[in-house]
Structure 1
Amino acid sequence: MPHLNDSTRGRLLFGGDYNPEQWPEETWHEDIRLMKDAGVNSVTLGVFSWSKLEPEPGAREFGWLDTLMDLMHGNGIGVVLATPTASPPPWLGRLHPQTLPRDADGHVEHWGGRQHFSHSSAVYRRHAAEITEALAARYGGHPALTMWHINNEYCTVDHGDEAAARFRVWLRRRYGTLDALNTAWGTAFWSQHHDTWDSVIPPRRVHYLHNPTQVLDFRRFTSDMLLECCTAERDIVRRYTPHIPVTSNFMPLWIGQDGWRWAEEEDVVSVDLYPDPRDPLGAQYGALVQDLTRSQARGPWMLMEQAAGPVNWRGVNHPKPRGLNRLWSLQAVARGADAVCYFQWRQSRQGAEKFHSGMVSHAGEQGRTFQEVKRTGADLRRLAEVTGTRIAADIAILHDWHAWWAGEQQARPSRRAGLEGVLRAWHRALWEAGLTTDFAHPEHDLGGYRVVVVPQLYLLTDAAIENLLGFVRAGGTLVSGFLTGVADEDDRVRPGGMDARLRELFGIRVLHEWWPLEAGESTECDGFRGTLWSEEIEAADDVTETVPYRGGELDGLPALLRRDRAWYLSTLPEPDALRALLARIAADAGVRPVLDGLPPAVEAVRRGELLFVLNHGREPVTVPVPGRHHDLLTGTTVTDGVRLDRYGVAVLRP
């Protein structure tokens, strides 16, 4: 099976989305000159080019793309060629309105934006297959082609009639009978019993609350339908080019796709990543997405999109301060990326994204953005030896999209205690402690880890629970947050409010009540303050350790408890306390930070034999690094420490 390293061939890929159809042909030659100046060795072509390639039904206009493919090859720049199916041309929706998606209110989403397609439409799928086949037949043998890019940021949701019909087919395959579906969905509640498959519909607008398992299954169905679209196009291009890797770019920490399942269908796992440059935790969010993507890829991955400067969708869109673009690009490499790319190459002058930055901004080649892009390109050339190397982690964070989907239901104890925020808090604690983490599915083999942490997994299958029990029995350390193991795969609350096997594992005799906290509210515990959530728990007699709540209704009851190597937190400690706790647990399990004594805002990651040291602060720092090392970025030797300027980076070889 082809993979990313087949395309990189001992070099880090550097470039981005190129949309030359927006520019006159004379600009293309200027772009080539600037790409070579910046060290660009890869461009993505055709992502939003369906109207250009097929201006009317059945027409094929490939001359402009022929020219560009030849230009790229002649100048040593590889092409990631996209299927343009994320944005169908207006004629498709006009002639075939059934290809347009409908929202939960029945409103049609028309052309004029993007992603205006129904994943369930047979007509859309046929036309998408035809344009994909035409591209594969024409360019499969072109020497510029290095990778296929299927569609773009799959995210369409459709509640229309054709989607409803496919939903019923999907449910028949899942459950077999209406009785099984009624049992799984708990339709005895509110008189929702289905006596015929024809009454089963997507979760359209209702008077009050939706059936939560219906919503859960519709999320599963939507992810599967989008994946069917993706793999159909993938299979077409693979027939022509079995040696060329295929990808489709994820959005960062996106709830709409089962990322574990999708990653299994890709040769290259890629992601688009846009932290807010004004967010003080932007680097931590970037690290989380990078760790998750690397874990989905089980090795090197591709940063398909990032911004060279400001984006255009936030209420206020801030540019990146000097040096931040380079820092975040090298952070991605440190955490396993073998490709660093942008949306887009040249900033558009028209259209909805004309205020979204490009590698070449409106200021042109003299602008600060392009000059920083050039520096980043030079840095990546110096780091070519890192290509294909791996990152070792002794800690795994468990994450599952099905648990996320189920936990986001409308009627729940607290809408403040969602999975994403809790996940980010736990990853932040480990990141700030200097501890490298992988992500894993709760049913994955966990035998290679010393510590497994579960920030929150509301839904756990029986197989996942047995996997956690087996991990602890084999000598691993398990740390779990609240609202874990509450429901089974049908979102049926388990007896006792938490699976009995987990309660025994953690030393919980009875979980009496959940006590969610209001915004700004906290609860005192011995040695720390808890936020977001608390629980009325009665501990078993044989627990190894407890930390009690102090004051209020829960006074004296355990906020934290441990039974041997299994820890349970019934609240979310404030950041410093959570970091200290997880660092202590990791140390007890024999897991140490990459570097001891890191100054605040400094990150250290070891990839292969190279040590990346990154300063996310605005002030210069000196970082202790025992021994003599060669800095690949400066070509100098450093002894027992390295000085980093604001947003500075060192890449050290022993």
Structure 2
Amino acid sequence: MTTERRLRLAGIAYGGDYNPEQWPEEVWAEDMALMGEAGVTMVSVGIFSWALLEPSEGVYDFSRMDRILDLLHENGIAADLATPTACPPAWFFRAHPEALPIDRDGRTLSYGSRQTFCPSSRAYRTAALRIAGALAERYADHPAVAMWHVHNEYGCHNAECFCDTSAAAFRTWLKAKYGNDLNALNHAWGTTFWSQWYYDWEEILPPRATGADPNPTHRLDWRRFCSDELLSLFTAERDVLRRAAPHIPATTNFMVMHNFDAMDYWRWAPELDIVSNDHYLLATDPESETDIALCGDLVRSLAGGRPWLLMEHSTGAINWQPVNRAKTPGEMRRNALAHVAHGADGIAYFQWRAAKAGAEQWHSAMLPHAGTDSQIWQDVMQLGADLRALAEVGGSTSPAKVAIVWDWNARWAMELPSQPSSELRFQDLVRDWYTPLWKAGVAVDFIRPDSPDLDRYRLVLAPSLYLVDDAGATNLAAFVEHGGTLAVGFHSGAVDENCHVRLGGYPGAFRKVLGVHGDELFPLLPGQTVGLAGQVPQGATADLWTERLRLTGADAVATYAEGPLAGVPAITRHAYGSGTAWYLATHPDPTTLATVLERIREEAGVRPEHDVAAGVEVVRRRGAEADYLFLIDHAGHGAEIPAEGVELLTGKPVVGSVTVPEGGVAVVREATREPSGG
């Protein structure tokens, strides 16, 4: 019988990283009192405490952790107890200097920060499992421990190591993948090019720095290996914890945000009992609320549609960007409740008390340097009250009739060197398509190309699917054939899973379903645009990409209005089987893209939740007995939105409409209704 492992906390968890070892013990009592005032229900402990827990190899000192966990339990606060394996102590590296990572250029990196270990190091694995086992044995039955927090942000700083130990582990991984058949690897990698044919496994190295561009398939397999190697560390620690405490769920914090792309989280997510994520805003992003929504929807999708936990974000400024801005009034609250709207059943920050020393001393916290006499503390108190008011939302899910295809292999492959354009960024292209849906209040899931669940959606979008295997391409085509609507972005279907170009014309794997044939790519130079004509807004333009197409069954919706491709189809629509397939062979300006996607969405029968003012985010979560309508004003103008029920943050009844305060949030409990597709 399978043991059910879930977080047994009522409502929506609230808290953050708690590092009492960084403070005198007399501070701890104040922490407990203030956590009680703020409504904190769970904190992560021990994440960076290896050196204190194991002062020398095999010698443990749990006295401090004993007191911390006892204190939390006495004050009714649950512990997300971490294995401290992201930060091996100095004594470990003195004993095992071979465990230090080596970068692409052959430099050995020193200890003195965090995650300075080789993921393939046998000495590191042994030490990590030893400390994990010691923690599990001691605290498996401690009443404060509600969840295991394995490691911290896998791959944040050491996603790749190019040492000889990693090289040997890479060869082992390749032998397993290619059935110990070196000829199969040579064919998959196309090693006849540039005389790269391998005659012995020992000849294969990591893609270290060379004088020219690396073999793309070599590099792609390396990225897959690095993700799997770190995943094997997670599962090894998790299994140690499970053996000692099979009833306690285990998680590790993903980093689904902006430009972090080291892990294939589709492979990771099924190994977690509870999916959790860290999300930080980029100071240079003028619409960072879009990134919160996109990443939240992606994490929820990784969790199989189930609620997830926000393990880290910031109350204000962070510490690792060139300029770290503070959050504007109301932004912290909007950020947190937007994560809840997109499926989070827990809100946590790094960290509880702002550090006065160390590399993250200028990172904001729930209790800032200024203490309780601060705006951040008032915001922390307010958010605690909000989350208590929203307790019944916990466990609810998010219905969607639109899915966006997201694939880490496609992302890695498209961003390798020697592409037709180095201006293409996977996440930017996906966000460009996601944004109009989000602004319209249309719910979105993310899926793999080979997802078996496409029939639950009316519309599937593939903004950027450069790499796709035959199974994924066939799956998407079958979705259209059976009545679905599919929209595909440019440069998709171009290569197979080995990064081999699909011959016979563009867009490769999708030519038949899209009803088009391309023979040449015409990427645009930075800053260059081209006009569009046809069923698009007047003055429509496009940038980044064009290609020469002819129609093989599709109809042209828009053509290029000028340049060498004047009159050539740029946007097409094709009736295929019982469904419809669209191709956007270029990158339209935001207004044009939004207009085209609106038409595609409406033809697919997907309507938004509400017609609302610009800048108001609308998201619905569905519970067993009610719906929860989240309304978040990012524009600062306020709004009046049709609704019926009870506004949970104020407890007031809603008759006909609800007022969303300027820059504020409203959450309405409504009677459950069938979604319109949004």
Using the size of structure 2 for normalisation, the TM-score is 0.94
Query: Counterpart in 1 of 2:583?
Result: 568
Query: Counterpart in 1 of 2:236?
Result: 232
3-state secondary structure, aligned to 2:582: strand
Q: 1:2 to 1:479 in 2, by over 3 A?
A: farther
CA distance in structure 2 between the partners assigned to 1:328 and 1:177 by the alignment: 51
| Aligned: 1:537 with 2:537 | no
CA distance in structure 2 between the partners assigned to 1:328 and 1:275 by the alignment: 10
3-state secondary structure, aligned to 2:542: strand
Query: Counterpart in 1 of 2:261?
Result: 255
CA distance in structure 2 between the partners assigned to 1:579 and 1:525 by the alignment: 14
Q: Deviations along 1:178-198, whole A, 9 cap, x unmatched?
A: 111111111100011111111
State how 1:508-523 maps to structure 2 within 5 Å: 508=516, 510-523=517-530
Q: 1:345 to 1:2 in 2, by over 3 A?
A: farther
Query: Counterpart in 2 of 1:28?
Result: 28
Select which of 313, 316, 322 maps to 1:309: 316
Query: Counterpart in 2 of 1:636?
Result: 652
| Aligned: 1:486 with 2:497 | no
CA distance in structure 1 between the partners assigned to 2:94 and 2:423 by the alignment: 42
**Letter in structure 2 aligned against 1:484:** S
Q: Deviations along 1:342-393, whole A, 9 cap, x unmatched?
A: 0000000000000000100001012111110010010000111111111000
Q: Give the CA deviation at 1:252.
A: 2.1
Whether the 8 Å contact between 1:2 and 1:267 is mirrored in structure 2 is: no
Query: Counterpart in 2 of 1:505?
Result: 513
Query: Counterpart in 2 of 1:43?
Result: 43
Q: Deviations along 1:13-66, whole A, 9 cap, x unmatched?
A: 000000111000001111001000000000000111100111111210100000
Query: Counterpart in 2 of 1:271?
Result: 277
CA distance in structure 2 between the partners assigned to 1:539 and 1:200 by the alignment: 44
CA distance in structure 2 between the partners assigned to 1:512 and 1:463 by the alignment: 24
Q: 1:82 to 1:296 in 2, by over 3 A?
A: same
Q: Deviations along 1:456-499, whole A, 9 cap, x unmatched?
A: 01110100011011101111100000111000010000003446
Q: Give the CA deviation at 1:641.
A: 2.6
Query: Counterpart in 2 of 1:559?
Result: 570
Query: Counterpart in 2 of 1:168?
Result: 171
Q: Give the CA deviation at 1:587.
A: 1.3
CA distance in structure 2 between the partners assigned to 1:18 and 1:12 by the alignment: 18
Q: Give the CA deviation at 1:134.
A: 0.2
Select which of 466, 471, 494 maps to 1:458: 466
Whether the 8 Å contact between 1:622 and 1:641 is mirrored in structure 2 is: no
Q: Alignment RMSD, CA only?
A: 1.3
Whether the 8 Å contact between 1:300 and 1:388 is mirrored in structure 2 is: yes
Whether the 8 Å contact between 1:310 and 1:318 is mirrored in structure 2 is: yes
CA distance in structure 2 between the partners assigned to 1:481 and 1:206 by the alignment: 33
Whether the 8 Å contact between 2:449 and 2:472 is mirrored in structure 1 is: yes
State how 1:188-337 maps to structure 2 within 5 Å: 188-253=192-257, 254-276=260-282, 279-298=285-304, 299-337=306-344
Q: Give the CA deviation at 1:217.
A: 0.5
Using the size of structure 1 for normalisation, the TM-score is 0.97
CA distance in structure 1 between the partners assigned to 2:608 and 2:514 by the alignment: 26
CA distance in structure 2 between the partners assigned to 1:9 and 1:495 by the alignment: 54
Query: Counterpart in 1 of 2:640?
Result: 623
Query: Counterpart in 2 of 1:16?
Result: 16
Whether the 8 Å contact between 1:511 and 1:536 is mirrored in structure 2 is: yes
State how 1:395-410 maps to structure 2 within 5 Å: 395-410=402-417
Whether the 8 Å contact between 2:319 and 2:363 is mirrored in structure 1 is: yes
Q: Deviations along 1:54-103, whole A, 9 cap, x unmatched?
A: 11112101000000000000110000000000110011111101111110
Q: Give the CA deviation at 1:539.
A: 1.3
**Letter in structure 2 aligned against 1:650:** A
Query: Counterpart in 2 of 1:613?
Result: 631
| Aligned: 1:603 with 2:606 | no
CA distance in structure 2 between the partners assigned to 1:135 and 1:501 by the alignment: 50
CA distance in structure 1 between the partners assigned to 2:66 and 2:498 by the alignment: 51
Q: Give the CA deviation at 1:3.
A: 7.0
CA distance in structure 1 between the partners assigned to 2:509 and 2:324 by the alignment: 48
CA distance in structure 2 between the partners assigned to 1:97 and 1:281 by the alignment: 44
Query: Counterpart in 2 of 1:85?
Result: 85
Query: Counterpart in 1 of 2:676?
Result: none
CA distance in structure 2 between the partners assigned to 1:243 and 1:465 by the alignment: 40
CA distance in structure 2 between the partners assigned to 1:498 and 1:492 by the alignment: 13
CA distance in structure 2 between the partners assigned to 1:200 and 1:211 by the alignment: 12
Query: Counterpart in 2 of 1:55?
Result: 55
Whether the 8 Å contact between 1:336 and 1:607 is mirrored in structure 2 is: yes
CA distance in structure 2 between the partners assigned to 1:576 and 1:643 by the alignment: 29
CA distance in structure 1 between the partners assigned to 2:371 and 2:508 by the alignment: 63
Q: Give the CA deviation at 1:523.
A: 1.1
| Aligned: 1:477 with 2:480 | no
3-state secondary structure, aligned to 2:519: strand
CA distance in structure 2 between the partners assigned to 1:25 and 1:135 by the alignment: 21
Q: Deviations along 1:154-174, whole A, 9 cap, x unmatched?
A: 112110010000100111111
Whether the 8 Å contact between 2:493 and 2:508 is mirrored in structure 1 is: no
Moved more, 568-577 or 485-494: 568-577
CA distance in structure 1 between the partners assigned to 2:509 and 2:23 by the alignment: 62
CA distance in structure 2 between the partners assigned to 1:74 and 1:35 by the alignment: 13
Whether the 8 Å contact between 2:556 and 2:569 is mirrored in structure 1 is: no
Whether the 8 Å contact between 2:283 and 2:323 is mirrored in structure 1 is: no
3-state secondary structure, aligned to 1:624: strand
**Letter in structure 1 aligned against 2:636:** R
State how 1:357-396 maps to structure 2 within 5 Å: 357-396=364-403
| Aligned: 1:467 with 2:475 | yes
| Aligned: 1:348 with 2:355 | yes
Q: 1:367 to 1:146 in 2, by over 3 A?
A: same
Q: Which runs of 5+ in 2 are unaligned?
A: 671-678
CA distance in structure 2 between the partners assigned to 1:297 and 1:7 by the alignment: 14
| Aligned: 1:586 with 2:598 | no
| Aligned: 1:417 with 2:424 | yes
CA distance in structure 2 between the partners assigned to 1:85 and 1:198 by the alignment: 31
Whether the 8 Å contact between 1:343 and 1:358 is mirrored in structure 2 is: yes
Query: Counterpart in 2 of 1:178?
Result: 182
Q: 1:599 to 1:277 in 2, by over 3 A?
A: farther
Query: Counterpart in 2 of 1:651?
Result: 667
CA distance in structure 2 between the partners assigned to 1:405 and 1:633 by the alignment: 42
**Letter in structure 2 aligned against 1:534:** T
**Letter in structure 1 aligned against 2:82:** A
CA distance in structure 2 between the partners assigned to 1:647 and 1:202 by the alignment: 50
Q: 1:650 to 1:249 in 2, by over 3 A?
A: same
Whether the 8 Å contact between 1:487 and 1:498 is mirrored in structure 2 is: no
Q: Which runs of 5+ in 1 are unaligned?
A: none
CA distance in structure 2 between the partners assigned to 1:20 and 1:10 by the alignment: 25
CA distance in structure 1 between the partners assigned to 2:274 and 2:506 by the alignment: 38
Q: Give the CA deviation at 1:131.
A: 0.2
